[in-house]
Structure 1
Amino acid sequence: MVLFSLFLILMTLVSLSMGYIRIPIVDIISILYGKLTGHQIMGNASETYLAVLFDVRLPRILTCTAVGAALAVSGSLFQGILLNPLADPYTLGVSAGAAFGASIAILLNLSAAFVSVPAFAFTGACVTLFVVIFLSYSSKNPMAGLSSNNLILSGIIVAAILSAGISFLKFIANEQVSVIIFWLMGSFASKTWFDFVVVVIFLLIGLFVSIFFARDLNLVALGAKSATSLGVDLKKTTLILLITGSMLAAICVSVSGIIGFVGLLVPHTVRFITGPDNRKLIPLSMLAGAFLLLLADTITRAVLPHEIPIGVLTALTGGPVFCWIFKKNRFK
């Protein structure tokens, strides 16, 4: 935990220093220390550095880390409750549902209302989740509907339909089409302190629920019958955690657009390091997700010659890893 936190802090300082205006890490530490303590420890370019740090980079970087953490926690919940390393908000169609809802809000020009896009995104994610559960549910064999294969296949079907719906929204949109296209590719450009606060509030709620049900998640890994015999209310736990994961995915999509594969790769990788205990896996995945997405955002913002949408980079790197995980687990 400490090592993960140190890596994240170091990555944050490096990211703050990089950009069109280079700021030495020593000056960053001095400015942050001065702001926190009230001391004026600044150099000649203090006003420029202050504006760059507190008006541009800090809101973007902190929002990025919060979104990465939330996506990783969401992926941990989906993988833990479905017992499948391929499960995440992206593969279950929840991200597509949130994107569809948010696209409607943008199309209706409701983005000025401070709750409209997040509210539409959350509604879209929840409706998608319940449709996926409905499609995978069988009245003849109720427990079969909770199987990961049924849910993932249903998610793929619903996501395909929603993708067509998003394409139709882009077709009928006029002035908003460029906003929808750019937003769907994922980006942290022009993020504000308000975006950061909104994501952090939902992240803390999701983290609390996740830690509270971490023991139940560990018991679910033993199998449905064993978990039930040990006192786990399987249907209640599954529903609560799926809704929590969907909530986290929805708020992330509403703020940053679709950023795929973070919820898939991070929990799967951290599981190799910490083992399957969700009491350790969830908080460490949160830190690792924040680190990974911040690294990707720093590359797209300050390393590449031209900034590209972060969703493009995560898809290009996450897609091959997704194929590897699928191939590895195919015959298990």
Structure 2
Amino acid sequence: MTTIDIDHTSRWFGNVVAVNDITMRVGPGVTGLLGPNGAGKSTLINMMGGFLAPSTGTVTLDGKPIWRNESVYKEIGIVPEREAMYDFLTGREFVVANAELHGLTAGAAQQALATVEMEYAQDRKIATYSKGMRQRVKMASALVHNPSVLLLDEPFNGMDPRQRMQLMDLLRRMGAEGRTVLFSSHILEEVEQLASHIEVIVAGRHAASGDFRKIRRLMTDRPHRYLVRSSDDRALAAALIADPSTAGIEVDLAEGALRIQAVDFGRFTALLPRVARAHGIRLMTVSPSDESLESVFSYLVAA
């Protein structure tokens, strides 16, 4: 099982600190790397891929330093966000060139092109490719040597819905095979569907790590919002609002439900069933309404 460890790592460019004392571990499976523009995601990925040296701290692959260590590069495939392709080559020529750099044959390139479903356009010049096609050829180039680690910086940019679904399926399969897959994305819905684990970077610092629902539940300083349907919404609201764990309740007539804001997560989750039982009220729906990845990300960025 291949693991990347980032240990108290910083990277600065002149007076600009892009990554500030980050410690994290990226292991097998699919990990989503989130953060606003300028948060340091690309810098972090470039250090993990061996393109940049840390200013302080270490970035290692199974305990071995990545920077200027050719022996680990055969384990890493990277798909950068930045366009760095040779438009005068065909897609096949581009991937074959990368295969040869790894000491592989054209057969490995052909297999990588088939994996990303680009065989149909492999003999066209890259100059004629759409943004989504370029992304897929970059992906084929990153996969040509069958790496155990795949790093992708905004891989879904420019892809149409069908291409996105194909890439998501491919990344899921690779994660299920035990490979270490990390991708950055600003499309939160895709991260929510794909990543089993998330790492959040805000202003160059490590803001959160883990499953986003668990991260939300750890945010005890942020009010939690629930949608609750019951057999007697008004009686339930009257009973709950008297408790200090509940900061506000709104009766949503359109939804036929209560929208509750709880300021003490632990106390409220124990209180709700106890109050319902004491008043003979049946609970039909108790659903967190701010536990989506979008809500969690918004809370973290605003913190």
TM range (shorter): under 0.3
Return the structure number with greater relative CO, CA threshold 8 A, min gap 6. 1
Name the structure where helix makes up a greater proportion of residues.
1
TM-score (structure 2 length as normaliser)? 0.24
TM-score (structure 1 length as normaliser)? 0.22
Name the structure where strand makes up a greater proportion of residues.
2
